[in-house]
Chain A
């Protein structure tokens, strides 16, 4: 590792954060869709959905938070793609700068941008009646899961960011991720789904992550869900990181 790695990453992180501060529309467009889903499901469909919980917005929020991250990482890929295409990436790579700093700065920027988006969505949920009795440690656990989930999806986003030929291609990969929560326990309990759908829903990562966060919010026992959720996040993170790093090495060699 280069002796300048930390300093260079900090400088490049400052650059990307300045981008976000100057175009806050990336945060706004990230949160519009999850908030629209939340409004639609709480005020239109919610009355007819029986989740067995007192407040549908509280039931719904964990899934909405995951959708927020899935929507936010499209911008991670977009920002990386723009650097690759604009030539500034090559400029950085031809300078005596730690080479992996360019990538890590994008990853950390993604984390910061998504945490801002998540905070905005939680704020809107509070206005819509979301309440949690969770204590500090439960909130920290929720934050930890969301950070791990964001990092896992960010490393996935790095791959199209590095390889895409067009801007659309760089962000299209996020659509399936955005819709994955619909086939999970995020909106409705999985119990009413027909066999094969239910089997998929109960064994895909979103359900365990949603269930774990929901249990933390409502101070229910998290059971095995939290371990399955953490295992999914860590597994996706490791695989995506290895693939992304391989892609990166191919691109800069």
Chain B
């Protein structure tokens, strides 16, 4: 293997335009191995474009990007061996069952014993019971979990999650967060994009803010907070948020939530 010491992702001066529109205007970032890195930005900031270039779906106009030590432009096949992409929309085959989806990916990644790989991942993502059902019957959270499970087939060292919780309900969001934390705990590098500030705050070791095609800030949460004027002490009555109320009432543990969702969908 190449350079285990090299950063998982290294990007220098990345530029990309669609006709007149300059989406990326020189993006630099480095993601350390085994860390969770959040790329934060509003809609249209260029997050998806950056992820597509890193996952070899798009060619950059200028700049270099290396993933797992391989250049995305000249060593695309090696990059594809090293990564998994979970796009903005859960890319599962709705007509196949959950298990068939995992077996399909295992075959296409040429890993040994696809059936065993599928069963292990179903177990790990609490989908064993649902494994024999068509993915079209899954709830949003289950579908996203299956989607992420599909990304883990073959244990790629780098995972891209493009807006993994957009459109999910609060419980499903917590399920996905849990899955992402477990990933990082096993040493996988995760680059996730999000437009939710709390998501970056909850998950990321480092956060970069992509704005108008450039990284304007890059650091840990503590470093980012230091950029603002020092905290003032104010007395504020802490009311529960609606989310607190909702999660308390329905049970914040996502793993319980999924059974209930499954029941209503089946």
Give A contacts to B, CB under 8 Å.
Answer: 2, 4, 7-8, 11-12, 15, 18-19, 22-23, 86-88, 90-97, 252-253
B80 touches A88 (CB 8 A): no
Q: Which of A4, A91, A93 contacts B110 (CB 8 A)?
A: A4
B58 CB contacts on chain A under 8 angstroms: 253
Q: Complex: how many Å from CA A90 to CA B84?
A: 11
B55 CB contacts on chain A under 8 angstroms: 94
Q: Complex: how many Å from CA A2 to CA B96?
A: 26
Query: Shortest CB–CB separation between residue A55 and chain B, in angstroms?
Result: 41
Can you report 17 residue pairs joining A to B where beta carbons are below 8 Å apart? A4-B110, A11-B108, A87-B87, A87-B89, A87-B91, A88-B92, A88-B93, A90-B85, A91-B85, A91-B87, A91-B91, A94-B80, A95-B84, A95-B105, A96-B80, A96-B110, A97-B108
B100 CB contacts on chain A under 8 angstroms: 18
Most chain-B CB neighbours within 10 Å: which of A19, A22, A86, A87?
A87
B104 touches A11 (CB 8 A): yes
Provided the pairs A90-B85, A91-B91, A253-B59 are in contact, do residues A96 and B109 lie with their beta carbons within 8 angstroms?
yes
A252 touches B57 (CB 8 A): yes
A88 CB contacts on chain B under 8 angstroms: 91-93
Provided the pairs A11-B108, A253-B59 are in contact, do residues A94 and B95 lie with their beta carbons within 8 angstroms?
no
Report if B36 contacts A (CB, 8 A): no
**Interface size classification for chain B:** 20 to 34
A11 touches B107 (CB 8 A): yes
Report if B56 contacts A (CB, 8 A): yes
Report if B126 contacts A (CB, 8 A): no
B57 touches A93 (CB 8 A): yes
A87 touches B90 (CB 8 A): yes
Closest B residue to A23 using CB positions: B95
Q: Complex: how many Å from CA A7 to CA B104?
A: 12
A2 CB contacts on chain B under 8 angstroms: 77
Q: Complex: how many Å from CA A100 to CA B82?
A: 20
Query: Shortest CB–CB separation between residue B114 and chain A, in angstroms?
Result: 10
Q: 8 Å CB contacts to A: which residues of B79-120? A: 80-81, 83-85, 87-96, 100, 104-105, 107-110
10 A-B pairs with the lowest CB-CB distances in the bound complex, closest first: A87-B91, A94-B85, A91-B91, A87-B89, A94-B55, A87-B87, A97-B108, A96-B80, A88-B91, A11-B107
Closest B residue to A91 using CB positions: B91
9 additional contacts (CB under 8 A) given A90-B85, A253-B58 = A8-B108, A11-B107, A15-B96, A87-B87, A88-B91, A94-B55, A94-B83, A97-B80, A252-B57
Provided the pairs A18-B95, A18-B96, A87-B91 are in contact, do residues A94 and B109 lie with their beta carbons within 8 angstroms?
no
Q: Which of A12, A95, A252 contacts B80 (CB 8 A)?
A: A95
Report if B150 contacts A (CB, 8 A): yes
A94 touches B56 (CB 8 A): yes
B93 touches A94 (CB 8 A): no
Q: Complex: how many Å from CA A11 to CA B105?
A: 10
Q: Complex: how many Å from CA A252 to CA B59?
A: 9
Query: Shortest CB–CB separation between residue A168 and chain B, in angstroms?
Result: 20
Closest B residue to A82 using CB positions: B94
Q: Complex: how many Å from CA A253 to CA B16?
A: 13
A96 CB contacts on chain B under 8 angstroms: 77, 80-81, 109-110
A95 touches B108 (CB 8 A): yes
Q: 8 Å CB contacts to A: which residues of B55-86? A: 55-59, 77, 80-81, 83-85
Q: Complex: how many Å from CA A190 to CA B110?
A: 56
B88 CB contacts on chain A under 8 angstroms: 87
